[in-house]
Chain A
Amino acid sequence: MTPIDLSWQNFVKKGDEPSFSIIYNKHADDLFSYGTSLGFQKEMCKDAIQDTFYKLYISRENLRDIKNITAYIFKSFKHRLIDLSRKNTREETTGSITESLTESFTLHVTVLDDMIDIENAELIKKKVYSLLEGLTANQREVVYLKYMIGLEHKEIAEMLGIREDSARKLLYRTMEKLRQQASEEDFREGLGVLFLIFLHQ
């Protein structure tokens, strides 16, 4: 049982407030990152985070069976973002927000602190970026939820409103796509190596 699961148990069974604040602090930045990736403004992300945790608190009596609290919070947050943007859209113009929601998932790669040398960090950043750049918004979202948040296929499927085997397939296709790009790059790199050998002789 991870510390966050333990906090969740403490909160859901006894309404323990410090545990609730631990859960909040563990998720606030990740939710903000996810909302920003989906193209939402900071204030709207903050509102949705607030609503998500308020709802989590007041409905905890009904949430005892939830195994993975992170997956639940992410799902709840995304639904809230969609609701909020629908409300805004109704006030302004008509147009389908859910469509534009699935059409964009921004991409920004960072290397934390200085565990990797600067020259290498730049190269790796470029490689990761170019691998992910060719994916569709949906595929990027799958990689993000799996790699950054650590969600399982089943949970990702629930969030994207697709079946579990579809999520698996989506990830499989995503990886196939990554693989193809990589082999093309390998080919180019291979040429470079050949060239070097030639020079050496």
Chain B
Amino acid sequence: MASNNQFFESNQNFLLDEEFIRWRLSDTEESNEYWRDFPVKNPHLRQKLQEAIIQFDAIKINRYTLTDEDKMEVYRSVLVKIDRYKRYKRRELSRRIGSVAAVLVIGVMSLLFIINQKDTVSFEDSVRDAIAGKTLPDEEIYLLSGDEKISIVHKAHISLTKEGKALVTDSTDTRKELLLTTTELNKLVVPYGKRADITLSDGTEVWLNSGTQLDFPSEFMGDKREIHVNGEIFIDVVHNPTIPFIVHTQGMDIYVAGTSFNVSAYNDDLKKTVVLVKGKVQVETDGRQMAELLPNEKIEMTGNDFTKESVDVSEYISWTKGILKFDETPVSEILKKIGRYYNVQFERIPEIELNDKTCSGKLFLSNNLDSVMNSVSVLSSTVYQRENNIIHITKK
């Protein structure tokens, strides 16, 4: 094992190490013990190890997939057989065709703005050609239902039950329950620096990015399923052709027509975008149909203007996996995204050249802001310094 450690010192590539691969594949008690101790004995490799564990998830053995058509066909046959069985049993037949999972990604790209001017620290003394940021106090995720309000820990999962309750499960498997109101919409509010995900009453799953508010009913009633979003979400819609799913945002509504899609829209952003992963969606403004999206297409809306283009969807949904992907992205854009994740305010200094620098690559959003900022400074050839809650980025 000692020689292994030396190997990592120089190469730092766990993914090519047999002991590591064997551990990920087999998950035996013996190997678990070794790898649990490993970061304790090698704290400087903790981050590398975590990244490798996440990356190894991309390795699949014998992964074959059925097409959506095949899946629908098999499912329909199951329903037909059940139907026949029920008729045979002289039972009342439910005509509703079951649903097929759909994926929706909604995303909003915005310009770097300082949202709350009064919280901004003045950096008059800071060096020219520098970007300065300030970490903000921690806020909690909370779920609002009528007059009830409960706070929720980071990365907890929320599920709605048939009894109209919200079931909150956190990483330690601690569970909390809240009976939701049926008279008005419930709110899930995720502040900057936090993320959460929720399973709605129809099984639709929604991932909320930092700084996002979602309004949803305890149970979908009537002939439409509707939710309201301010921020960025990735949504996997359970497909049900008879009850359409609509995502409302400020000035833009998205209708799920086919199987799957992804949306993001912050009220205070000028630009709003919708990126489609699977299926078909319609985007409407003021009740007028604006555009129909096909997979791997993005629609971008600024005021009344919109543009449609083909994109690599993985860039827009990587945040759900705790990764940020960049492809020649301006440093200012990267800092804005990091700011949202870690609740840091970066002051915008338009005249400095740093904003023109671009980066390509992947960032692992670990719990440690310092290691993330170090990666950014390496990628963009800048120098990063942090004094308490103030961050300075300067050119090399």
Contact = CB atoms under 8 A, between A and B. Distances in A.
Interface of A: 1, 3, 6-7, 10, 14, 16-22, 24-25, 28-29, 32-34, 36-37, 46, 49-50, 53-54, 57-58, 106-116, 120, 123-125, 127-128, 131-132, 143-144, 146-148, 171-172, 174-175, 178-179, 182, 185-186
A50 B94 CA distance: 19
B261 to A, nearest CB: 16
Interface string B154-180: 000101011000010100000100000
22 contacts: A6-B199, A18-B98, A18-B203, A29-B63, A29-B64, A36-B64, A46-B74, A49-B74, A54-B82, A107-B62, A108-B62, A109-B59, A109-B60, A112-B58, A115-B55, A115-B323, A116-B15, A128-B21, A131-B25, A143-B26, A147-B24, A148-B63
A186 B4 CA distance: 10
Contacts of B78: 24, 50, 53-54, 57
A174 B31 CA distance: 14
A177 B175 CA distance: 41
Contact of A50 (B81, B100, B362): B81
Given A28-B66, A58-B82, A18 B58 contact: no
A114 B16 contact: no
A21 B66 contact: no
B34 to A, nearest CB: 12
A148 B238 contact: no
Interface in B99-156: 99-101
Chain B interface mostly helix, strand, loop or mixed? mixed
Most chain B C-beta atoms within 10 Å of own C-beta, residue among A28, A111, A179: A28
A147 B25 contact: yes
B202 interface: yes
B16 A3 contact: no
B62 A21 contact: no
B22 interface: yes
Given A22-B238, A113-B314, A132 B64 contact: no
Contacts of B203: 7, 18-19, 21-22
A32 B75 CA distance: 13
Contacts of A53: 74-75, 78
Contact of A20 (B25, B98, B159, B199): B98
A146 B26 contact: yes
Given A32-B64, A148-B61, A14 B162 contact: yes
Contacts of B169: 1
A113 B70 contact: no
Contact of B16 (A10, A127, A143, A147): A127
A53 B199 CA distance: 23
Given A22-B101, A115-B323, A171-B28, A123 B65 contact: no
A125 B61 CA distance: 10
B88 to A, nearest CB: 10
Contacts of A124: 15-16, 21, 59
Contact of B66 (A29, A57, A123, A174): A29
B87 interface: no
Given A6-B167, A7-B203, A143 B99 contact: no
